[in-house]
Structure 1
Amino acid sequence: MDTPERDSLPRKRSLRKKFGARNYDENLMDELIEKHLGGAFKKKKQTKEDLEKETETEAMIAISLGFPIDALLEEEIRAGVVRQLGGKEQNDYIVVRNHILARWRSNVEVWLSKGQIKETVSNEYEHLISAAYDFLLYNGYINFGVLLPLTSPMPELTNEGSVIIVGAGLAGLSAAKQLMSFGFKVIVLEGRNRPGGRVYTQKMGKKGQFAAVDLGGSVITGIHANPLGVLARQLSIPLHKVRDNCPLYKPDGAPVDKGIDSNIELIHNKLLDKVMELRKIMGGFANDISLGSVLERLRQLYGVARSTEERQLLDWHLANLEYANAGCLSDLSATFWDQDDPYEMGGDHCFLAGGNWRLIKALCEGVPIFYGKTVNTIRYGQDGIAVIVGEQVFEADMVLCTVPLGVLKKRTIRFEPELPGRKLAAIERMGFGLLNKVAMVFPHVFWGEDLDTFGCLSEHSNKRGEFFLFYGNHTVSGGAALIALVAGEAAQMFENSDPSMLLHRVLSVLRGRTCDDFPFILFPNLLKAL
């Protein structure tokens, strides 16, 4: 759910990035790409140098979308987009593929047709145009989102098939929108009385001082290749880059020395590097060795972070790592904890003005959704699908089940016949993480208008993830909204805690505290805000 520039070795993103404070407009993409995209696809006579420059720019766009510069995706290889791997045909295919990606990304508000591509690519590459276009279209890399017609402008995509989608979260709604654009008849069954799933924007505050606060997913973590960024562009919703300035405070409210902070951050990154080096030398760790145990052993071996302040600082970075992985380091595999790094989305982290509910609302338009329909049974076979909700039976040609992993683990939906053994084994093996947050709205922004984030150190390692990071959502929520994040072991303890006690604890962190009974005020204006 929810960077410093990457080093030579991959690692989880930190939320303490470096960039200026301004609203994000993905139409710009970046200065270089926008410069070349301005008129790149208008009919005009181009020199050889112009074409080479355009090809390089399109390759950069493709890289930002997760495509390799000189190779095919595994999915492309399986789809057989070229007759022979390697050689001139593959190189030509990559150029055509990149051109199609760049064409659509230059204007995501309209459907890009195969005919439009043929206008800008030589006829001798017609077979590659078809291969690349069909792959990108059917795998959702182009022509997706909320501004597409419900009936595809391409006659060849007309389809009389019917699909039932179980779950009206982001996955279910996006799939419904895309399938409808392909011509399928679609209905969505949702157990709750609202759409969105784990995306939920709540209006908080007093009359006249409401703020739109995301109680579920709240940050677009990496704008490049992120379909949420595309949706925001299509809806003309401003995105706010999460600014880098993230001061840290000690448990007593005093600011952390920036020099010590930089040194401990460097130690934290080097410890992760050592984990990777050891893993490579040893050919991997045993399955039951956790990332947390390896990091602690390395910390002791190298004798780092010995003082109280240094250990608290290192704990903060470990809490941030637990937040990035939505789990305790003691539960993360030392061998596989970073296996999804190649699939992470690059670019800036952003807040969406008005909350992520705006995306959900747009995705719902024109989609037939039935609420309060908790699915009991899914029967499937060659004769079609039957989805049973109590005494009701919904029938279709296909079913797409987008419920969370936890629902599948609980077996609350019965499949007839039972799911294949490999799928049951995967459901059993896979895990999911836990994050918690406390959302608050104040009369004014006492923490500073220029701060999107700040962090607080904990006295105790087992509570390092409790309110370790705060998001100031005042730039996008319409009010002085502040969100306290809880990760790791602290997030698990939160599940059974009294909400009133949690609010008391988070306010005590915001006030700061000293050894005596007189509080050190971390933010001088906090008491006025309360």
Structure 2
Amino acid sequence: MEPKESISNNLLQGTFASRIERRHSSLPSVIVIGGGISGIAAARDELDFVLLPATSYSCYHLFRLHGVCNENPLAPLIRCLGLTLYRTSGDNSVLYDHDLESYKLFDMDGHQVPQQMVIEVGDTFKRILKETEKVRDEHRDDLSVLQAISIVLDRNPYLRQEGLAHEVLQWYICRMEAWFAADADMISLKSWDQEHVLSGGHGLMVQGYYPVIKALAKDIDIRLNHRVTKIINGCNKVMATVEDGRNFVADAAIVTVPLGVLKSNLIEFEPSLPEWKAAAISDLGVGNENKIALRFDNVFWPNVELLGIVAPTSYGCGYFLNLHKATGHPVLVYMAAGRFAYDLEKLSDESASKFVMLQLKKMFPDATEPVQYLVSRWGTDPNSLGCYSYDLVGKPEDLYERLRAPLGNLFFGGEAVSMDHQGSVHGAYSAGVMAAENCQRHLLERLGSLEKVQLVSFRDEILEDAVPLQISRI
């Protein structure tokens, strides 16, 4: 019987040419696996690319921009396209991506929480988080954020909150969990505040990310609904096999699929990933945050940016984003993170919508029924299996470097390899660009054609002659 290694090499050299789709170009060829913004950003102009997404672009449904500033890697494209941003917070907000100036909180019975209480508990939450730094310094071993908060409250009883104030504190913890898409008992105390957040605060893309995706995808060879199941990495070629058995061969490949897909081993690698790479995939956490978008015929809620529901536990708290204030569309988006997000996915779309409406009607008894609703299922969607990465308790610090590191002709993108900006669209974009640049350098040096290719992309050209960012705050 022919050895397995020989079979792989024969495949890559074209023994079974009838089952293989090759690229016909004088340029080095690259397969990009994954159709999010990282994969689209990786498809550079200087090489011959084919993009294989498992489905349509996942980031169509996203609308947040973290870092409303010119330093954001997406700013040049946003400016060039004339897209409008709506700023929701400045820097260092206790609510992360919102400020404490346009909101209303309610208890489980629908009574509004006094604004002064919300402000005072917010100040207390800041002090609690500051005290967790001492806990971190005192413990050699990592702890969870929730463990650290418990230690702080035991040491400082005056920081404890009772009754309604306790429920407001739980809501702040809920907002923190939404930032990481994970429960506080899963978040690393060592790493939770080490992320490099761009200046300028946070905002909403008023038109969503579709215009950005459309511009980046122009003239790229994109094959929708091509779910890759196997990647063979030979010494000179890479072959990707899709579900229907077709094979794509190129000089290299860039893998930008979500971390959840890598963790689930839905893609077989041949040869198998080395232990150091597999361990990096295993040791990084992948979060989950689901959205239930409700569109109404009329606006029955106040003109604030967010509506919140406080509860005795962070699990029971709720959060609505008011898109009407930013976009003019009568839409509320309910957000749930961590275990609660997974529990919501156990419901049908109709049941999830009814659950959200029960909460709304406690706050607004005259609330009308939605005319349309959309429920995300990032945790169980086979094309995502989670939202974005975060640092688990007690894991090594070099996970992002190991995940990003290439393997021969294989390169890795996606938000999870962005050490400084994981969990963000601009982080995913930058990771895709970096993977493409590393892949390009590797191929051009290996193939000896460095002098034949002009290393300029339209993405670089739009850095010139750009209008200022269009930012509003009503």
TM range (shorter): 0.5 to 0.7
Q: Cα deviations across residues 297-328 of structure 1 (Å, max 9, x unaligned)? A: 32233223332101101000000010111100
| Matching of residue 164 in structure 1 with residue 10 in structure 2 | no
Q: Distance in 2 between matches of 1:319 and 1:334?
A: 16
**2:347 matched to which residue of 1?**
497
8 A contact 2:296–2:368 mirrored in 1 = no
| Matching of residue 463 in structure 1 with residue 344 in structure 2 | no
Q: Cα deviations across residues 368-401 of structure 1 (Å, max 9, x unaligned)? A: 1011211122112332222222432211111001
8 A contact 2:304–2:325 mirrored in 1 = no
Question: Which structure 2 residue ranges, 5 or more long, are not aligned?
Answer: 1-24, 90-98, 372-474
What is the identity, as a one-letter code, of the residue corresponding to 1:481?
V
What is the identity, as a one-letter code, of the residue corresponding to 1:479?
H
Determine which of 185, 190, 197 is the counterpart of 1:330: 185
**1:239 matched to which residue of 2?**
85
Q: Cα deviations across residues 417-465 of structure 1 (Å, max 9, x unaligned)? A: 22222111111111110111211001122223x422222212x315334
Q: Tell me the CA shift for residue 471 of structure 1.
A: 0.9
| Matching of residue 511 in structure 1 with residue 361 in structure 2 | yes
Q: Tell me the CA shift for residue 361 of structure 1.
A: 1.9
Pairs within 5 Å for 1:378-417: 378-389=231-242, 390-417=244-271
Distance 1:393 1:499, change over 3 A: closer
What is the identity, as a one-letter code, of the residue corresponding to 2:41?
S
Q: Tell me the CA shift for residue 528 of structure 1.
A: 8.6
Q: Distance in 1 between matches of 2:253 and 2:133?
A: 41
Distance 1:159 1:463, change over 3 A: same
What is the identity, as a one-letter code, of the residue corresponding to 2:173?
L
Matched position secondary structure for 2:304: coil
Determine which of 278, 282, 289 is the counterpart of 1:424: 278
Distance 1:295 1:159, change over 3 A: farther
**1:187 matched to which residue of 2?**
50
What is the identity, as a one-letter code, of the residue corresponding to 2:248?
F
8 A contact 1:164–1:189 mirrored in 2 = yes
Q: Distance in 2 between matches of 1:185 and 1:358?
A: 24
Q: Tell me the CA shift for residue 250 of structure 1.
A: 2.0
Q: Distance in 1 between matches of 2:230 and 2:365?
A: 57
Distance 1:184 1:338, change over 3 A: same
What is the identity, as a one-letter code, of the residue corresponding to 2:206?
A
Determine which of 291, 315, 323 is the counterpart of 2:145: 291
**2:161 matched to which residue of 1?**
306
Distance 1:528 1:397, change over 3 A: closer
Distance 1:375 1:298, change over 3 A: same
What is the identity, as a one-letter code, of the residue corresponding to 2:120?
N
Pairs within 5 Å for 1:41-440: 160-176=27-43, 179-180=44-45, 183-192=46-55, 194=56, 196-197=57-58, 199-200=59-60, 214=61, 217-224=62-69, 225-242=71-88, 244=99, 245-280=102-137, 282=138, 284-287=139-142, 289-303=143-157, 304-339=159-194, 341=195, 343-389=196-242, 390-440=244-294
Q: Distance in 1 between matches of 2:52 and 2:298?
A: 41
The higher relative CO (CA closer than 8 Å, separation ≥ 6) is in: 2
What is the identity, as a one-letter code, of the residue corresponding to 1:319?
C
**1:485 matched to which residue of 2?**
335
Matched position secondary structure for 1:330: coil
8 A contact 1:223–1:346 mirrored in 2 = yes
Q: Distance in 1 between matches of 2:87 and 2:186?
A: 32
What is the identity, as a one-letter code, of the residue corresponding to 1:335?
K
8 A contact 1:455–1:469 mirrored in 2 = yes
Distance 1:470 1:228, change over 3 A: farther
Q: Distance in 1 between matches of 2:345 and 2:146?
A: 22
Matched position secondary structure for 1:329: coil
Q: Distance in 2 between matches of 1:472 and 1:326?
A: 20
Matched position secondary structure for 2:240: strand
Matched position secondary structure for 2:147: helix
What is the identity, as a one-letter code, of the residue corresponding to 2:79?
R
Q: Distance in 2 between matches of 1:227 and 1:474?
A: 27
What is the identity, as a one-letter code, of the residue corresponding to 1:386?
M
Q: Cα deviations across residues 476-512 of structure 1 (Å, max 9, x unaligned)? A: 5552011011123322322213433332232222222
Question: How high is the TM-score relative to the length of structure 1?
Answer: 0.59
Q: Distance in 1 between matches of 2:103 and 2:351?
A: 27
**1:152 matched to which residue of 2?**
none
Q: Cα deviations across residues 267-301 of structure 1 (Å, max 9, x unaligned)? A: 11111111112212x2x4424x3211221232233
Matched position secondary structure for 1:331: coil
What is the identity, as a one-letter code, of the residue corresponding to 2:315?
K
What is the identity, as a one-letter code, of the residue corresponding to 2:37?
L
Q: Tell me the CA shift for residue 336 of structure 1.
A: 2.4
Matched position secondary structure for 1:174: helix
Aligned residues: CA RMSD:
2.3
**Looking at CA atoms only, which structure, 1 or 2, has the larger radius of gyration?**
1
What is the identity, as a one-letter code, of the residue corresponding to 2:135?
L
Distance 1:446 1:229, change over 3 A: farther
Tell me which stretches of 4 or more aligned residues in structure 1 moved more than 6 Å: none
What is the identity, as a one-letter code, of the residue corresponding to 2:367?
L
Matched position secondary structure for 2:27: coil
What is the identity, as a one-letter code, of the residue corresponding to 1:322?
E
